[in-house]
Amino acid sequence: MPVLTIWSDLTCPWAYVAALRLHRTRDRLGADEVDFDFRAYPLELTADGAPGEHQVRADMGALVQTEGGGFSSYDGTGWPATTVLAFEAQKWGFSIGQDIGERFDLALRRGFFLHSHNLGLRRELLAVAETEGLASADLAAALDDGRFRKAVATDAYEAIEADLEGSPTVVLSDGTAHYNPGITLTRVRGLAHIEGDHPSVYEEIIRNAAMDD
């Protein structure tokens, strides 16, 4: 099976848009043979650290111009202090199966950006699982015994060693990497200004991935 590897932070709005577009484009092309391998890239563990709440909120505001239906104003219980636990939940989803893993990954991202779930809180992760009809008790057990913590750490250190440009980075099987596909931006006094947005690049990415079968 052809595989696209996606390195991203779960609370990165740019990565959320990439995930939405990857799913949408694959569905439109009927390229069901292409699997998405979402890898853990917690920006809090990188040298620069995760962007703060004010920057993420501002970036969400900028992206409403391109994917307005995917966002709402975040009014959850506090702000996520960490994404590590959420990445453990992501790994749990993929341990059940590829389809469930992909669906739960997207549900976690939507849970934060659209439904204001604090992905740093155990109870909020369980709530997202319940909305997807998944066994929240099984997820609770996995989070409590930390069975996926090492896998998250392994991904994180691999991402750091790879010196990725940032989140999201989509990588084809031949190693070709696309950082924040289709979007070019500049920052003016810390605020994101989207200079170009070309979602059609996702069609090229999916088609190229399918050719690797």
For the chain, how far is it from start to end, CA to CA, in angstroms? 6
pLDDT computed for residue 47 by the predictor: 83
Helices and strands, number each (H, E), in the chain: 8, 6
Burial category of 167 from C-beta neighbours within 10 Å (exposed 0-12, middle 13-18, buried 19 and up): buried
pLDDT tens sequence across 1-13: 899 999 999 999 9
pLDDT tens sequence across 7-41: 999 999 999 999 999 999 999 999 999 999 999 99
pLDDT computed for residue 212 by the predictor: 73
Q: Which two tokens stand for residue 210?
A: 């399918």
pLDDT computed for residue 190 by the predictor: 86
Closest C-alpha to 73, from 112, 43, 109: 112
Residue with tokens 């202090």: 81
Q: What is the dihedral of CA 176, 5, 7, 177, to 10 degrees?
A: 10
pLDDT computed for residue 213 by the predictor: 60
Peptide bond into 168 cis (omega under 30): yes
Domain 3-210 -> CATH class: alpha beta
Q: Which residues of 178-209 are buried (b: 16+ CB within 10 A; e: fewer)?
A: bbbbbbebeeeeeebeeeebebebbeebbebb
Closest C-alpha to 172, from 27, 36, 43: 36
Burial category of 161 from C-beta neighbours within 10 Å (exposed 0-12, middle 13-18, buried 19 and up): exposed
Amino acid, res. 79: W
pLDDT computed for residue 208 by the predictor: 95
Angle at the Cα of 150 from the Cα atoms of 6 and 134, rounded to 5 degrees: 65
Below-50 pLDDT ranges, the chain: none
Residue spans of the domains in the chain: they are: 3-210
Burial category of 61 from C-beta neighbours within 10 Å (exposed 0-12, middle 13-18, buried 19 and up): middle
Beta bridge partners of 38: 6
Cα–Cα distance, 88 to 101 (Å, whole number):
12
